[in-house]
Structure 1
Amino acid sequence: MRGLMSAGLLAMAFTLSGCGAQPESHEAHEAPEHGAAAEDYERGPHRGRMLRDGNFAIEVTIFEDGAEPEFRLYAYRDDKPIAPADVRIALELKRLGGEVDRFAFRPEGDVLRGNGIVREPHSFDVTVTASEGGRRHRWSYASYEGRTTIAAAAAAAGGVRSERAGPATIDERIDMSGRIEITPEGKAEVRAWYPGRVLAMRAQLGDRVAKGQALARVESSHSLQSYTIPAPIGGIIVEKNANVGAMTGDRPLFVVADPAMLHAEFFVYPRDAERIRVGQAVALRSLSGAARLQASVEAILPTADLASQTLLAHVHLPASAAEQFRPGMGVEGSFVVAVQPVPLAVRTRAIQRFRDFEVVYAKSGNSYEVRMLDIGRRTPEWTEILGGLKPGTEYVTDGAFLIRADIEKSGASHDH
C-alpha cells in the first residue's frame, strides 16, 4: 500500500488497481497492486485483452467509438479466427459493493457482440466462460479504474467523510450585488428646537451615546433662555456640524446612527424583478466571503431608478450582523426564488473531475471508486443527480480531492 501525501496529514495506505491490471488464465486471480500498465497483459489483433487456454483464445474488447460502450469478443484457435457461431460465451462483471452485471453474446459477422451497455465506471472483476468443440474454458481477472483502498483510520485522519445519497431540496437562486446601510429607523438628526446660539456641545464625533443623553445646550434668540437637546436614539455620533458659539441653522448639530440597525440594499434588474418577493430567503456574504449569514427580503421599493431601471430590495439583518457587517460594505446576496424537491442529490462540494466526467467517489468498506454523474440542477449546497448513482450509495463528501489526487498519481487507466 502507498501513502497519500498531504502536508500535516498522517501517512495513508492506498491500494489502486488500474484498468486491465492483471494477467489472466482459467484460474481466478487476486486483484493486483496499483494497476499495472496495459502492456502487462497480451493484446490481440483488435487491441483487446487475450485470454488463452491451450490452443483456444478469446480476445475481449469494449467498443465505444461513437456509440454506447459494448463488449465485442473474437475467438481464435491456433491464433486463427474461428466462426463466432461455433462458440458459446457468457461474461460476468462484479462491481464494487457486490453488484453483478451479466452479458450474453450473439454472432454478428466475425464478432461475438454483447447484449448490453457496459456502464461506467469500467471497473470490475471479470469472469468469462466459453464452450467450443465440447470443451469448456473459464478465465477471471481484475480490470479496475478510479479505485483505491484506504484503511479506516487513515481515511479519518485525512479528513475523509461520507454520507448516503438521497432526496434533497434544490433551491433556484438569483445572485445580486448590494451594500450594507443603516435603516431609516436607525439614524436620527439632532437639531436645535429654536434658532439660537450654541452654548455647549457635550459629545464628539465617534462617541457612543444613549437615548435621552444631553448632547447640546442652546440659547434661544427670541427668549434668551437656554435649553438642553437630548439624543433621540442611542447610537454613535457619525456627524458633528457645529461648535460652541455657532448659530444654529439648517444643518443638524449631530447625526446619531445605531450600527446594530442594518439592512442590505440590492439593485434588482428588470429581468429579475418579477421573481423577487418579500419574505424570500437570502444567503448574504461579504465580498471576501469571510462574513456570511441567512436573512430575508423585508421590502421592495416600487419606484424604479430612471437611469438603470433597477428596483431596490431591502434585506433585513439581525442586530448580531453588526459584528460582521458595517454600513457601506459591498455584499453579495443569493436570493431563493424557487424551491424544488428532487429524489436524488449529492453535496455540491463532493463533486470532482475524472477524465471528462464529473464524479463522486462511492465508498464500500475501505474501498473508494468513481461514479460518473448525469447532473441536473446545481446550487452551492446540492446538485441534482439524474443518473450514474444509485439512491442510498455512500459517497465521499469531504476529502474527495485527496482520493482523486492519489488515483491520478497512481495512473488509473481506461484501457481494455
Structure 2
Amino acid sequence: MKLISSFTKVLFLTSFLFFTGSIFAESGHGDESEHEEEGHIELSNEQIQHAGIVVSTVGANVIRDVLPVYGLVATNAESLQVVNARFDGVVRDVKKSIGDPVRKGETLLIVEANESLKNYSITSEINGYITQRNINIGEKTNETPLLVIQDFSTVWVELSIFPKDLPLVKLNQTVNIQSTDLKNISEGKIIYISPFGQVQSQATKARVLLENSNNIWKPGLFVNANITLDEINAPVSIRNEAIQVIEDKNVVFVKGESGFEPREVSLGRTDGQYSEVLTGLSVGEMYVSNNSFVLKSELGKEDAEHGH
C-alpha cells in the first residue's frame, strides 16, 4: 500500500507540473524575452492563478516551542444522557432510532406505567445523537438503559505522554490538534492529567477538550498533537511551505518588479507552521507562500536551457 501511495503522489506531481508547464508554454512563457533578468521568473496573473501560487507578506508571527505527541479522539463522557424509565411499564412508542439527531426537550418514548396504567413521555435533556437503543414497542422496561444520547459538539482528545516529557505538560496548555491526513486542524486546552500511568504503553494520559460543532472529529480516530510549551515573537517570519532547498540552500521566491526572484534565507526557530527569518528577507516584502515548488521547477528549466 505504501508503494501504491508513493506512486500515486509521484503521478499526481508529474501531472501537475505537466499541466502548469503546458499553461506556461501556451502563454509564451518559454520565450527568452520573458526572462528580463537572469534568475527571475515572470508569470502573468493567469499563470499564477492556474498554478495555484499564493503570495503573502513577510511579517511578524508567534512561533511556538512545542512538544509533539499522539492522541486519540474520544467521546466527551460528560456530554451524554442515559435514558431510563421513571416508572416501570410497557413501551408504547419509540420515536428515535440509532443515528437520529435529537433536540433538547424532544419526546423520545411513550411508556405505560404498570401501576397507573397511564402513559407518560420521556424527553431528551440534551442535544445530540442516539448511539444506543435497547428497547422496542411492547417490551417492558427494566434496569437496562432504554436509549443513550451523546452530544458530539465537543470531544476529548486523549494524549499519550511519556515519562521523560511528563514534567513539561501542565493544565491549561494550548494544544494544536491535526488529523492524520492534515486536512483538519483545531486547538484546545489540556483539562486533565491522569495521576495514573498505563501499564502497556508506560505513558500517562492528558486530556484535551476540543470544540467539534462541525462534527469533523470522530471518536476512535488517531490524531497528531503539538503541546505549546512556550511562545516566541518572531519579527520576521514566513510560512514553512514557502521554503525550497536549491543547491543545499534554503530559498524563498520573492515577488519584485522583474518577476519572482529566488532569495537565499537564513532561518532560525520554527514550529512546523512558521519559521523565523534571520537574514535574506525584510518585513513587508511579498513572497510565495504556497506552491513555490512550481517556481523551483521553472527555475530548473531555465538553468537547463542556459546550460546548453
TM-score range, shorter chain: 0.7 to 0.9
Per-residue deviation at 1:350?
A: 0.8
Local SS of the residue matching 2:225: strand
Per-residue deviation at 1:358?
A: 2.0
Q: What is aligned with 2:8? A: none
- Residue 391 (1) aligns with residue 304 (2): no
Describe how 1:10-409 pairs up with structure 2 within 5 A.
11=27, 13=29, 147-151=39-43, 153=45, 156-157=48-49, 158-193=51-86, 196-203=88-95, 204-212=97-105, 213-217=107-111, 219-220=113-114, 223=115, 228=120, 229-244=122-137, 246-293=139-186, 295-307=187-199, 308-322=201-215, 324-387=216-279, 389-392=280-283, 393-409=285-301
CA distance 1:394–1:413, change in 2 (3 Å): farther
Scaled by the length of structure 1, what TM-score is found?
0.57
> Which whole-Å CA distance do the structure 2 matches of 1:344 and 1:413 have between them?
35
CA distance 1:372–1:316, change in 2 (3 Å): same
Deviations 1:304-352 (Å, cap 9, x if unpaired)? Answer: 2331343333323335232x22333332223222111224322211111
CA distance 1:330–1:215, change in 2 (3 Å): farther
Scaled by the length of structure 2, what TM-score is found?
0.74
Greater helix proportion: 2
Per-residue deviation at 1:12?
A: 5.4
User: What is the root-mean-square deviation of aligned Cα atoms in Å?
Assistant: 3.5
For the 8 Å contact 1:12–1:155, the answer to whether it is kept is no
CA distance 1:209–1:374, change in 2 (3 Å): closer
Local SS of the residue matching 2:236: strand
Per-residue deviation at 1:237?
A: 1.9
Local SS of the residue matching 1:353: strand
Local SS of the residue matching 1:271: coil
> Which whole-Å CA distance do the structure 2 matches of 1:217 and 1:345 have between them?
64
Structure number with greater CO (CA < 8 Å, separation at least 6) is 2
CA distance 1:14–1:261, change in 2 (3 Å): same
CA distance 1:268–1:365, change in 2 (3 Å): same
For the 8 Å contact 1:267–1:311, the answer to whether it is kept is yes
> Which whole-Å CA distance do the structure 2 matches of 1:148 and 1:181 have between them?
51
Local SS of the residue matching 1:304: strand
Give the partner amino acid of 2:299.
I
Q: What is aligned with 1:107? A: none
Q: What is aligned with 1:132? A: none
Q: What is aligned with 1:68? A: none
Deviations 1:80-139 (Å, cap 9, x if unpaired)? Answer: xxxxxxxxxxxxxxxx8xxxxxxxxxxxxxxxxxxxxxxxxxxxxxxxxxxxxxxxxxxx
For the 8 Å contact 1:302–1:311, the answer to whether it is kept is yes
- Residue 6 (1) aligns with residue 18 (2): no
Per-residue deviation at 1:186?
A: 1.7
Per-residue deviation at 1:184?
A: 2.4
For the 8 Å contact 2:68–2:227, the answer to whether it is kept is yes
> Which whole-Å CA distance do the structure 2 matches of 1:15 and 1:332 have between them?
46
Stretches of structure 2 lacking an aligned partner (at least 5 in a row):
1-18
Stretches of structure 1 lacking an aligned partner (at least 5 in a row):
17-31, 35-95, 97-143
Per-residue deviation at 1:298?
A: 4.5
> Which whole-Å CA distance do the structure 1 matches of 2:22 and 2:93 have between them?
60
Q: What is aligned with 1:78? A: none
Local SS of the residue matching 2:21: coil
Give the partner amino acid of 1:192.
A
Give the partner amino acid of 1:408.
G
Q: What is aligned with 2:15? A: none
For the 8 Å contact 2:154–2:209, the answer to whether it is kept is no
